[in-house]
Chains A and B, each alone.
Chain A
Amino acid sequence: MSSTLSENQGPETGTARVKRGMAEQLKGGVIMDVVTPEQAKIAEDAGAVAVMALERVPADIRKDGGVARMSDPDMIEGIIGAVSIPVMAKSRIGHFVEAQVLQSLGVDYIDESEVLTPADEVNHSDKWAFTTPFVCGATNLGEALRRIAEGAAMIRSKGEAGTGNVVEAVRHLRQIKNEIARLRGFDNHELYAAAKELRAPYELVKEVAELGKLPVVLFSAGGVATPADAALMRQLGAEGVFVGSGIFKSGDPAKRAAAIVKATTFYDDPKIIADASRNLGEAMVGINCDTLPETERYANRGW
């Protein structure tokens, strides 16, 4: 609400309002990881609000090991050509050239993602430098605000991608929501100390304290595998969900995708969630996060 159009000026692209506003349009929806145009169509037919185009879903990245990078431009363009819903794609953390490439391909959102192998262990990309908006992961409020300070127009709680286990998604979303609630009770004196503690700009901390929410849309990601998982994240305060491996690593992707969409919209209606949960076939095989070595936790990437 802060920016206004200057008089007699032509159309302006890449404004904060246009970037953040794009994410507002995705609210209440499900964003699905897809690796082929066929999967993208299945996702669109199931009611996905956007797809994330990538070469391997996180579960396979985990299994295959090695360095995970931006996807092949041909593959991304194939998916852009297959669907009319927005297409997102991932760059490595700090790999601003991958991000430049993704922008040139015309993707609608760039995910600077911990699921790929980080390219810079100190710096994230300067996201203000792009017309294409960015979504970034966060495990807590300070991390979310640092990403927003760098220009992120949307935040997703990280969870632990490729595990099919929602426990880390719950932990991170609760952490962010709790820290926001705590700020609400602070007076001006305390907000300066809070900013220092959160390692985030004071102006953003103050804005969150006043709004009682992030200044950008907050989704949840990393471990959602069932309709009830999606509804859980919504009831905990996520404005929408990313589903990665959970759909196309399951027995009946089309059915599961449609079921997760229903449960995300009617997240507060257990009867509808129950109906959506019937006969979905096999869910993806999960990984217990407490047996994951620290070095294999994607959520530890980024800072």
Chain B
Amino acid sequence: MSLWVDKYRPKDLSKLDYHKDQAQRLKNMVQQGDFPHLLVYGPSGAGKKTRIMCLLKELYGNGVDRLRMDTMTFESASKRKFDISTISSNYHIEVNPSDAGIYDRTVVMDLVKTTAQTHQIDPTGQKEFKVVLLTNVDELTKDAQHALRRTMEKYVGTCRLILSTNSTSRVLPAIRSRCLGIRVPAPTIEEIKTILTKVAKKEGHDLPNELAERIATTSERNLRRALLMLETCRVEQIPYTPDQKVTEPDWQLYIKGIAALMVKEQSPSKLLELRSRFYELLTHRIPSDLIFKGMLQEINKKCDLQLKIQVANLAAEYEHRMHQGSKEIFHLEAFAAKFMSLYKKFMDASMADFM
């Protein structure tokens, strides 16, 4: 792997750069020979996946690195067939069940069952269980999570589940209680800075402290993003200079643009422009909760405190409804309209006071 993100990804628990005590605990746990189901949670770019892979390597040895892509075919209850791509080694299988949309229940049930029902032929020198790694568990439907509950207990002898998620809020308590929660917090600015300097050094470049600081802040403590930013900076200009431009991802700028539009003018016809922008974001496959988040962050910068509370409330409400529904555009536009009417009312009121 040639990107720095992948190139300098630690492959071993002992080589992790931060949360070292946690790494040590994980190591101990594995050395005990057994562990319960895990629920690894933390913001994206904090190193969940890295940790999990390190753990698996500790568990099974180098064989875990030999990954292959497979496509599994499932059939839903309504006889509709669909494919899910999986990444697997001899010892584990990684699936993102939310790829299946509302049919994720079938995926979870079938996959865990098929994996769990096959025992290791030769248990000597190997663990007697396989690992099923489910990513983005928070995007699972309630049905699928319920389906998971029983299977988790039933096949615990032959199969361990590692669930990876950004937030536990949308994971059922029943699931949470069946797993050992491992929180992977985002690295601090300082930690990111040291990692960035280390990587730059390994590549033979000198990284000014200010640039490292700026990259770390712009990346919002997302290590993956920080490393990508560092590499982008290198492509643009080498050697590094302290006042070098640090690029934000396009989609974030785009969301900022939307927020600015909403604050600038409030009218039904403006909604049409907003809609085309929302569509643009959606067609780029930006997750819609990130759109909400981005909008709220930007709007909050431009609102009074009183309004901030209301808007935050609204955003939460509309995002929740969006997860209940299926057509994001309705909810995004509804939120935009609601905010605009609220903002207009607020502005009119304050103008009246002013007059």
A binds B: no
Give the interface of B toward A (CB within 8 A). Answer: none
Give the interface of A toward B (CB within 8 A). Answer: none
